[in-house]
A and B are shown apart, each in its own frame.
Chain A
Amino acid sequence: MSDVVWLIPAFPLAGFLLILLFGRRLGEPLAGYLATAMVAASFVVSVGVYLDLLGMPEDERTHVETLFSWVPVGDLQIDMSFLVDPLSVAMCLFFTGISALIHLYSIGYMHGDPKFSKFFLYLNLFVLSMAMLVLGENMLVTFLGWEGVGTCSYLLISFWHSRESAATAGKKAFLTNRVGDWGVMLAMFLTFSAVGSISWNVLNNNAEGGLLAETTATGIAVLLFVGAVGKSAQLPLYFWLPDAMEGPTPVSALIHAATMVTAGVFLMIRINPVIMASADWVGPMIAWIGAITALFAATIAVAQNDIKKVLAYSTVSQLGYMFLAVGTGAYVAALFHVITHAFFKALLFLGSGSVIHAMNDEQDMRKMGKLAKFLPITAGTFIIGWLAIAGVPPFAGFWSKDEILLFTLADSVPLYIIGLVTAILTGFYMTRQVVMTFFGEQKWESRAEEHGAHGEFKPHESPWTMSTPLVVLALLTIAGGLVQLPSLGIVPDSVQHRLEDWMHLVLPGEAEINGTWALDNQNLLVVVAIVASLVGIMLGWLVYQQRRIRPYEPSVLGNGWYYDATVTRFMGGPGREGFEAVAAFDATVIDGAVNGAGAAVGGAAGGLRKGQTGYVRQYGLVIGIGTVLLLGWFFLRGVL
Chain B
Amino acid sequence: MAEGRLDGRGPDVIAAIEPTWYLLLAALLFSIGAVGLVIRRNPLVMFMCIELMLNAANITFVALATRLGDINGQTAVFFVMVVAAAEVVVGLGIIVSILRRRPGATADSLAELKG
Contacts and interface: CB of A to CB of B under 8 A. Distances in A.
A617 to B, nearest CB: 5
B95 to A, nearest CB: 12
Nearest to A611: B115
B113 interface: yes
B107 A609 contact: no
A620 B108 CA distance: 12
A515 B102 CA distance: 115
Contacts of A613: 111, 114
Nearest to A622: B38
16 contacts: A612-B113, A614-B112, A614-B113, A614-B114, A615-B107, A615-B108, A615-B111, A616-B107, A616-B110, A616-B111, A617-B37, A617-B38, A617-B39, A617-B41, A617-B46, A624-B38
B34 interface: yes
A616 B46 CA distance: 11
Nearest to B111: A614
Nearest to A627: B34
A609 B115 contact: yes
Contact of B38 (A609, A612, A614, A621): A621
A612 B112 CA distance: 10
B41 to A, nearest CB: 7
A621 B40 CA distance: 12
Contacts of B112: 614
Interface residues of A, number: 11
Contact of B114 (A612, A617, A620, A624): A612
Interface of A: 609, 612-617, 619-621, 624
Nearest to A605: B115
A1 to B, nearest CB: 77
Query: Which 3 A/B pairs are nearest by Cβ-Cβ distance?
Result: A614-B114, A614-B111, A612-B115
Interface string B47-75: 00000000000000000000000000000
Given A624-B34, A624-B38, A617 B107 contact: yes
Nearest to A620: B38
A609 B115 CA distance: 6
Nearest to B41: A617
Nearest to B40: A617
A621 B35 CA distance: 8
Contacts of A615: 107-108, 111
Nearest to B112: A614
Contacts of B39: 617
A617 B114 CA distance: 13
Contacts of B114: 612-614
A614 B115 CA distance: 7
Interface in B24-46: 34, 37-39, 41, 46
Interface residues of B, number: 14
A615 B115 CA distance: 11
Central interface residue in A609, A616, A620, A624, by most chain B CB within 10 Å: A616
Contacts of B111: 613-616
Contacts of B108: 615, 617
Central interface residue in A609, A614, A621, A624, by most chain B CB within 10 Å: A614
A619 B108 CA distance: 11
Given A612-B115, A616-B110, A617-B46, 6 more contacts: A613-B111, A615-B107, A617-B39, A617-B107, A620-B37, A620-B38
Contacts of B46: 617
A624 B108 CA distance: 18
Interface in B84-115: 107-108, 110-115
Nearest to B46: A617
Contacts of B34: 624
B57 to A, nearest CB: 14
A614 B108 CA distance: 8
A624 B37 CA distance: 10
Contacts of B107: 615-617
A619 B112 CA distance: 13
A615 B39 CA distance: 12
A624 B31 CA distance: 10
A621 B108 CA distance: 13
A624 B114 CA distance: 20
A620 B107 CA distance: 11
Central interface residue in B34, B38, B112, by most chain A CB within 10 Å: B38
A616 B115 CA distance: 13
Nearest to A608: B115
Contacts of A617: 37-39, 41, 46, 107-108
Nearest to B38: A621
A616 B37 CA distance: 10
A620 B46 CA distance: 11
Contacts of A609: 115
A617 B109 CA distance: 11
A612 B115 CA distance: 5
A609 B114 CA distance: 9
Nearest to B35: A624
Contacts of A616: 107, 110-111, 113
Contacts of A619: 113
A613 B39 CA distance: 16
Contacts of B41: 617
A401 B109 CA distance: 99
B44 to A, nearest CB: 14
B31 to A, nearest CB: 10
B35 to A, nearest CB: 8
Nearest to A609: B115
A616 B113 CA distance: 9
A614 to B, nearest CB: 3
Contacts of A621: 38
A614 B39 CA distance: 16
B16 to A, nearest CB: 25
A552 to B, nearest CB: 86
A307 B26 CA distance: 107
Contacts of A620: 37-38
B110 to A, nearest CB: 7
Central interface residue in A612, A617, A619, by most chain B CB within 10 Å: A617
Central interface residue in B110, B112, B114, by most chain A CB within 10 Å: B114
A614 B107 CA distance: 10
B91 to A, nearest CB: 13
Contacts of A624: 34, 38
A612 B111 CA distance: 10
A617 B107 CA distance: 7
B105 to A, nearest CB: 12
Contacts of B110: 616
Contacts of B115: 609, 612, 614
A620 B110 CA distance: 14
A620 to B, nearest CB: 5
B109 to A, nearest CB: 10
A616 B114 CA distance: 10
